[in-house]
Amino acid sequence: MTEIETDYLIVGSGAMGMAFADTLLTESQADMVIVDRHAKPGGHWNVAYPFVHLHQPSSFFGVASRELSRFEKDKVGFNKGLYDLASGAEVSAYFDDVMQQTLLPSGRVRYFPMSDYQGDGVFTSLTGGQETRVKYKKLVDATRLTVDVPIEHDPAFTIADGVQFMPLNNLPTLKTAPQGYVIIGSGKTGMDACLWLLQNGVSADAIRWIMPRDAWMLPREFAQNSEEFFADTFGNQAKQFEAMAAAENIDDMYDRLEAAGCMVRLDPEVRPTMFHAATISHPELEALRRIKNIIRMGRVSALEVDKIILDDGTMPTGPDIVHVDCSASLSRTMPKMSPKPVFDGDVITPQTVRSFMPVFSGSMIAYVEARYDDAAEKNRLCNVVPLPNRAEDFVPMTLAAMMNQFNWSQDKPLRQWVRDNRLDGFTKLTNNVDPDDKEKMDIMLRIRDNAPKAVGNLMKLAETIDAPA
């Protein structure tokens, strides 16, 4: 067995692990060893479906030291008029560039792809079989938020012989048009499968969409970090705070958020019970609303040649129907993602410390690790923002994120670092507002006046939420 030494053993070179390593490289002189089971960095992007894109502008994604966005607005398609969303291929190539052009050339990072971490500092090569023991000062477990992806997913239902069944990764391999499609899963993956089919000439009437839970979604139009979109983006933030401050209960909060345009849902007649922070453009929403065959009978338990068995009934199908698996569920993987302290002795577990922003979170955690000594203070600054699943989870998620933002604002060096970090996206825009710009100042005053009220009311609403079953 080979033995090596390092300051930080980082397990996982997905987006969060890469963001952590990049900032630690900048903010310290530490030596790092990165171990990952994939052949290239990027985590689940290595096995993503071929038509996947980011769901937020590219400028929010990647590592702090290297830009991903082209800062160009899309000229065609469902994202027309909004800033570019990198494709899966672009993201994969980007992380490879970060590794090859930034991390490895530093001389302080060693990278072991195609390696399976066994625990206790030992990993095994998946190609050569060699074992390596790493003597480290700190272990960084960057696998905590590993997501279940369709191509590696074992469906939670039985599939009879003769059923045409595939993960959405295989949709572009179709050779002949089937009689119709059944999309299994109501999350962002299911949305992407439906949109891809619609874009590629499939009639909306040929699609049946099994939707165990409807979801609240965030309009992408309000996640644009440029001066041009200032009034929309920050006006939306002000509306959110106003809605949260005035809400009498959680249903009332969503009603107010929807009325203000801050939240959308697929069917105005169906109240969503899920919130996964999916971001959607209005053209995407209108396209999805063309699909009328929405099956709301719970989850699939069995696919048979002539019928689909669900929790609350059955529906007919046939051998000429393609069944597309988009059922890799965040709710099934969330138990192993339950929050734990980011800093715990010699173990660092990167998790989200800002809503919707895992890579900013990884970068922030690395900065705090490099710049602060006291473990309690580190965890106070990096309090975990829980991942949402149920609709009511929006409340504790938002409350934790707002408390973190307040704590960061009270620390002058940290506040400046956040402002300068390209992954932050928004702080520089708000800090550069001209005091004589009445429109922008009015928005900022609404945010300032309503943020404390929102926090106070969210605390009350949080007391009404039952623990997950």
**Statement to judge: residues 154 and 297 lie in one domain:** yes
Task: Take residue 253 and report the two structure tokens written for it.
Answer: 């909060």
Per the structure, the complete domain to which residue 276 belongs is given by 150-214+265-328
Report the 10 Å Cβ neighbour count for 58.
22
Residues 310 and 333: their CA atoms lie apart, in Å, by 21
Where b means 16+ CB within 10 Å and e means fewer, 176-191 reads: eebebbbbbbbbbbbb
Phi–psi pair at 220, nearest 5 degrees:
-65, -25
- Do the Cβ atoms of 459 and 263 come closer than 8 Å? no
- Regarding whether 158 and 60 lie in a shared domain, the answer is no
Q: 125 and 274, same structural domain? A: no
On the 0-12 / 13-18 / 19+ scale of CB atoms within 10 A, 286 is exposed
Q: Kindly report the number of other CB atoms within 10 A of residue 202's CB atom.
A: 18
Q: Are 134 and 33 in contact (CB under 8 A)?
A: yes
pLDDT of residue 333: 55
How many residues appear in the chain?
469
The two counts, helices (H) then strands (E), for the chain are 13, 19
In this structure, is residue 89 part of a structural domain?
yes
Shared domain for 122 and 187, answered yes or no, is no
Token readout for 129 is 């079989």
User: pLDDT at position 335, please?
Assistant: 56
AA identity, residue 98: V
10 Å CB burial of residue 462 (0-12, 13-18, 19+) is middle
pLDDT in the model for residue 200 = 97
Task: Identify whether residues 348 and 370 lie together within a single domain.
Answer: yes
For the whole model, what pTM was predicted?
Answer: 0.95
Domain check: are 314 and 169 in the same one?
Answer: yes
Residues 304 and 352 both lie in one domain: no
Contacts for 314 with CB less than 8 Å, ≥ 6 apart:
307, 308
- The residue from 395, 417, 438 where one domain ends is 395
Shared-domain flag, residues 139 and 106: yes
Domain end (from 395, 425, 443): 395
In a domain, 168, yes or no: yes
124 lies in some domain: yes
* CA end-to-end span of the chain: 45
61 and 169 housed in the same domain: no
pLDDT, position 115: 98
Indicate whether 405 belongs to any domain.
no
Give me the tens of pLDDT residue by residue for the chain, a chain 469 residues long. Answer: 899 999 999 999 999 999 999 999 999 999 999 999 999 999 999 999 999 999 999 999 999 999 999 999 999 999 999 999 999 999 999 999 999 999 999 999 999 999 999 999 999 999 999 999 999 999 999 999 877 777 777 899 999 999 999 999 999 999 999 999 999 998 999 999 999 999 999 999 999 999 999 999 999 999 999 999 999 999 999 999 999 999 999 999 999 999 999 999 999 999 999 999 999 999 999 999 999 999 999 999 999 999 999 999 999 999 999 999 999 765 555 555 678 999 999 999 999 999 989 999 999 999 999 999 999 999 999 999 999 999 999 999 999 999 999 999 999 999 999 999 999 988 888 888 999 999 999 999 999 999 999 999 999 999 999 877 6
How many domains in the chain? 2
21 inside domain: yes
Closest C-alpha to 238, from 43, 446, 466: 446
* 5, containing H or E segment: strand 2-11
108 and 184 share one domain: no
Q: What is the pLDDT of residue 332?
A: 52
DSSP-based three-state secondary structure for 60: helix
Structural contact between residues 264 and 278, judged by C-beta atoms closer than 8 angstroms: no
Same domain, 28 and 176: no
Domain-located, residue 437? no
Report the CATH number that the domain containing residue 41 is assigned in CATH: 3.50.50.60
Answer whether residue 206 is part of any domain: yes
Same domain, 74 and 181: no
Q: Is residue 241 part of a domain?
A: no
Residue 450 DSSP code: H
